[in-house]
Structure 1
Amino acid sequence: MGQLLEFWLDGKTDIRPQSRDRYRRIIDLHLEPAFGKLRIREVSPALLDAWLRGQTSGVAATSRTVLSGAFSMAARFGLVVSNPMLAVEPVNRPRKEVRALTRDEIPRFRAAIAKSENETLIDVVDVALATGLRAGELLALRWEDLHLDEASPRLEVSGTLVYSKELGHRRQEEGKTSQARRPVQLSESCATTLRRRREKYGTLPMVFPSGAGSYVWENNFNRWLREWRGEEFKWVTIHSLRKTLGSLVYEELGPHRAAEVLGHSNSTLTETVYVQRNSAGVAIGDLVDNMLDGVQKMSEK
């Protein structure tokens, strides 16, 4: 079985380096110890089902991908009569309740972050709240992606930061999904923040440079966030900020606009096939300014 997994991975030439790393870890840490010494025909649907049910949701999901692909290849080559994974039903686990910052919590969270006096941390948090970008998308922003001097300021999501053992840290020119490349309208407060940064850092290509003049990597940002978010907000991650804007847009403008802002695939045939996507970005500027107005009032007291 171990040889089958290795042969399958070696043949996956059409995947991104970071996906290869993820499959490599799953094989080495989980699948090889569990199934590596078994013959292919000894791995039954019942054995696979029982093993997958004992794994965490993340391990189970990636393991299903690898096992399904490897056994599908084995079936094509006649090594097994059929793919045993076809008989293994997905494990339905209760979904975790979505948690986002409330309107009352947002000013308190921003005030906690402001105590850091870390300009990059403060600005990344504010732009994350104002745009709902994924961490990699946000930290990968370049000045050429921003249109700050137009009547309706906006940014264009054009890439993301990724890491793989093969290529190291780098900026990837396509996003996480097919819908990731998108325009996002900027609130005036967010545009003002970015214009201020442009005055200071505009000679560099990236919006959020590190002290060395390179991209700030997500693990460094997360370390700063953990240090300054405080006990009340110890549950908050940059993904929580994405959920916060998503929840606001969903509440005010509905699910389809929320999906468009966040770069999610649309859930209906009409949205996917028949609706032209908004080339100027969704009009979220006033919503964001109202949401963030609380911290401004707090600072004036």
Structure 2
Amino acid sequence: MSPRPPLPLGTWGKISRKKHPNGRWRATTRYRDTDGITRTAEAWGTSGAAAERTLVTSFQDRRAPISSEISRTTRLSELSDLWFEEIENNGRAGRRTIDGYRDTYRRVIEPALAGLRLHELSTGRIDRFLKNVAADHPATARHSKIVLTGMIGLALRHDAVRSNPVRDVGPIKIARKDVKALSVEDVQKLRTVIDEWQKDPTHQGRPRAADLLDVLDIFLATGARIGEVLAIRWQDVDLQAEPPTITISGTVVMEKGRGAYRQDHPKTKAGFRTMKVPPFAVQTLQRRYSAERPKPEDMLFPSSTGTVRSPHNFRRQWRDARAGSPYEWVTPHVFRKSVATLINQEYSSRQAAAQLGHSGTAITEKHYIAKATESPDLTATLQQFGDESPLGPDHLSM
């Protein structure tokens, strides 16, 4: 005989009643709890029926689900409010990331899907939506997929849906662009372009326009992100160390209604790092320190009013400085790629990843290291295949 199947979760077996000498009735049964364990349950009453009603009532209270604002009839617009509230409070996403999610939702997802209820968000419907977006803007489609995955993941955790329909949509292909980096020779030519721009009388006197070359030196000396470079304080610089160092301990972020401010931690956990500074950048730091005699809490590259410098403002100044030159394509992020590429050529991608503050080499190799267009000179190594040929040296000259 096959064993008796267990009770379904949250159910009970036959209820027994028994009158005790004191005149009260006791109702008992076996109840399979939500943890899967079957336990004996009991309740007392003035009659058998009363004891059974009390027992059944206790089961109903025991089975009552935790109240949730999310159900299968919740609209995506309502779910989005709850999801944004959650990620704002859990601290797992930075300000810039959350603002990006909000922007994608408002521009792309909300007009198309906000009125749909959760049970209407099928894999097919979401797949068609993402493919329509990807036809013109594949990167936006991929970002939309990330946002929808997070939102419906919240509904899944509240048992409002059985599975996340976004997980099974078709892949969104983005044409991979070759990493473009500056060579050492390119950097020298670019320095000349920026220097001539700074010396042009029409540009002199512009707020912070005279220090673009200094910022460039720190970009090239560290490979740090623009927000990280603009967040460096003098207390993060140790000119007494041998060699001198810069510690990346924060980043500048932009927030609506607040503007630019210094966030007291980098973009990622691996981004907190101390880097040794090469001599050319040490000279820049020493010159600036001698000229400014700053306080430890002062910014290395402040705004014109001495506050945190906005990355947006710096990018605008940088565009002005390189306009009309062969280097109009160069953005601040290109310096990060150039540093990674040079370190990889001289050492390895592991050292490049450490310099950039990546936790591993995969992102560094895929997005930051320019692939060589000419293979290195490995002739001495490959010559080993021809040395001491069993057919004799004459064979090698055939």
With normalisation by structure 1, the TM-score equals 0.83
Matched position secondary structure for 2:197: coil
The alignment status of 1:220 with 2:295, answered yes or no, reads no
The alignment status of 1:240 with 2:334, answered yes or no, reads yes
CA offset digits 1:71-129 (Å, max 9, x no partner):
12222333322210121244232211100112221111110011132332111012211
- Equivalent residue for 2:110, pick from 7, 21, 32: 32
Map of 2:28 onto structure 1: none
Conserved? CA contact 2:249–2:265, under 8 Å: yes
What is the CA distance between 1:137 and its match in structure 2? Answer: 0.6
Conserved? CA contact 1:17–1:167, under 8 Å: no
Letter of the structure 2 residue corresponding to residue 131 of structure 1 = T
Conserved? CA contact 1:17–1:166, under 8 Å: no
Letter of the structure 2 residue corresponding to residue 83 of structure 1 = N
Map of 2:325 onto structure 1: 231
Matched position secondary structure for 1:155: strand
- CA distance in 2: counterparts of 1:116 and 1:212, whole angstroms: 23
What is the CA distance between 1:57 and its match in structure 2? Answer: 4.2
CA offset digits 1:183-225 (Å, max 9, x no partner):
1111111101011111122325111122211122111111111
Conserved? CA contact 2:224–2:356, under 8 Å: yes
What is the CA distance between 1:166 and its match in structure 2? Answer: 5.6
Q: Could you tell me the percent identity over the aligned residues?
A: 34
Map of 2:81 onto structure 1: 6
- Equivalent residue for 2:187, pick from 99, 106, 109: 106
Matched position secondary structure for 2:270: coil
- CA distance in 2: counterparts of 1:168 and 1:209, whole angstroms: 14
Letter of the structure 1 residue corresponding to residue 293 of structure 2 = G
Aligned residue pairs: how many? 268
Segments of structure 1 that go 5 or more residues without pairing to the other structure are 269-301
Letter of the structure 2 residue corresponding to residue 23 of structure 1 = Y
Matched position secondary structure for 1:20: helix
The alignment status of 1:124 with 2:200, answered yes or no, reads no
With normalisation by structure 2, the TM-score equals 0.64
The alignment status of 1:156 with 2:234, answered yes or no, reads no
Conserved? CA contact 2:319–2:328, under 8 Å: yes
For 1:197-276, what aligned pairs fall within 5 Å after superposition? 197-204=288-295, 205-229=298-322, 230-267=324-361
- Equivalent residue for 1:86, pick from 151, 167, 171: 167
Letter of the structure 2 residue corresponding to residue 266 of structure 1 = G
Q: Which has the higher contact order (CA 8 A, sep 6+)?
A: 1
Q: 49-58 vs 146-155, which deviates more? A: 49-58
What is the CA distance between 1:7 and its match in structure 2? Answer: 2.1
Map of 2:149 onto structure 1: 68
Q: 7-16 vs 148-157, which deviates more? A: 7-16
CA offset digits 1:117-149 (Å, max 9, x no partner):
233211101221121110001011111111112
What is the CA distance between 1:227 and its match in structure 2? Answer: 0.8
Matched position secondary structure for 1:104: helix
Taking a change above 3 Å as real, the CA distance of residues 253 and 213 of structure 1, as seen in their structure-2 partners, is same
- CA distance in 1: counterparts of 2:184 and 2:300, whole angstroms: 27
Segments of structure 2 that go 5 or more residues without pairing to the other structure are 1-75, 199-208, 363-398
Matched position secondary structure for 1:151: coil
Conserved? CA contact 2:260–2:308, under 8 Å: no
- CA distance in 2: counterparts of 1:159 and 1:58, whole angstroms: 28
Matched position secondary structure for 1:169: strand
Matched position secondary structure for 1:213: coil
Conserved? CA contact 2:83–2:151, under 8 Å: yes
- CA distance in 1: counterparts of 2:249 and 2:357, whole angstroms: 11
- CA distance in 2: counterparts of 1:245 and 1:76, whole angstroms: 43
Decide which structure has greater helix share: 1
Matched position secondary structure for 2:262: strand
After TM superposition, what 4+ stretches of structure 1 lie above 3 angstroms from structure 2? Answer: none
Matched position secondary structure for 1:207: coil
- CA distance in 2: counterparts of 1:150 and 1:203, whole angstroms: 18
Map of 1:277 onto structure 2: none
What is the CA distance between 1:167 and its match in structure 2? Answer: 4.1
Letter of the structure 2 residue corresponding to residue 176 of structure 1 = K
Map of 1:295 onto structure 2: none
Taking a change above 3 Å as real, the CA distance of residues 151 and 80 of structure 1, as seen in their structure-2 partners, is closer
